Structure 1
């Protein structure tokens, strides 16, 4: 029975480790997502500044149209990227929940194993005490019999 519990505990520890790695990966992906958004926003700011600088020296309608279309594409990209944020956050939440469940499972197996060990120790102490009591009773009876003769 104990070896079965030990096996289950080992499995639970392995599952918990996998859950921790998945959570770490999800957090890394969320962080990478934020960095990517920041880079696109910075690129857009830089591009807008270039547009202003070039506009001071004069732009044709065609050049302006081309630059405006590019800015619109950047805005669409940012909008699409921002919609993905909830996905990355949800991944982190799901992984966190899974990890908590795995940790709870591991702890319950550890508790069960410790309880079985405590129960076994208590049972052994009772057996030892019973043997000592029986031994004392036998010794007392022997002494009494020996002293009576």
Structure 2
């Protein structure tokens, strides 16, 4: 009976393992998305810094009012892009956190099911060992004894 309990759980374990595998894939996907978002943010920050350096270079030689307005306008657009990318990074990090939590839950479920199946198998083995021992005891009692002369 205990063996059949372990066998009946096999499809449940398979489904839990598939769910855990899917959770791992989602986790990897969101880790990649965070890396991309971090890279884009770093690129935008570096570009903004380089663009700001132009003020130092060009400003020392004198600039027109039109150039200055264009510079400030583009710098404001860069600031907006940096802020949006920061928000995107936070959004991706939240998704990553949720995916990590989902994976941890799926992993714990699989491990719990595996332990339960092993417990059922161990129990079945103990019952089988007990049954064999009882059978051997009965057989040994039925055998005629040979006493030493």
Distance 2:8 2:95 in 1: 33
Divergent runs of 4+, >4 A: none
Structure 1 residues without counterparts, runs of 5 or longer: none
Match of 1:34 among 33, 38, 41: 38
1:70 aligns with 2:60: no
Choose the corresponding residue for 2:93, options 60, 70, 89: 89
TM-score (norm 2): 0.88
- Structure 2 residues without counterparts, runs of 5 or longer: none
Q: Deviations over 1:125-146 (max 9, x none)?
A: 111111111112112xx448xx
Q: Establish whether residue 117 from structure 1 lines up as the match of residue 121 from structure 2.
A: yes
- The worse-fitting range, judged by mean Cα deviation, of 13-22 and 78-87 is 78-87
- Residue 54 of structure 2 is aligned with which of 50, 60, 76? 50
**Structure 1 CA distance for aligned equivalents of residues 19 and 107 of structure 2:** 9
In the aligned structure 1, how far is the partner of 2:138 from the partner of 2:8? Answer: 36
Separation in structure 1 between the aligned mates of residue 61 and residue 121 of structure 2, nearest angstrom: 84
For 1:55-100, what per-residue CA distance to the aligned partner results, in whole angstroms no more than 9, with x for missing partners?
A: 2222111111011100011111112222233212211111111111
Tell me by how many angstroms 1:51 deviates: 2.6
Distance 1:133 1:24 in 2: 58
TM-score (normalizing by structure 1): 0.88
Q: Secondary structure at the match of 1:84?
A: helix
User: Which of 103, 123, 130 is equivalent to 2:107?
Assistant: 103
Does 1:126 find its partner at 2:123?
Answer: no
| Separation of aligned partners in 2, 1:42 and 1:133 | 83
Q: How many residues align?
A: 143
Q: Cα RMSD between the aligned structures? A: 1.7
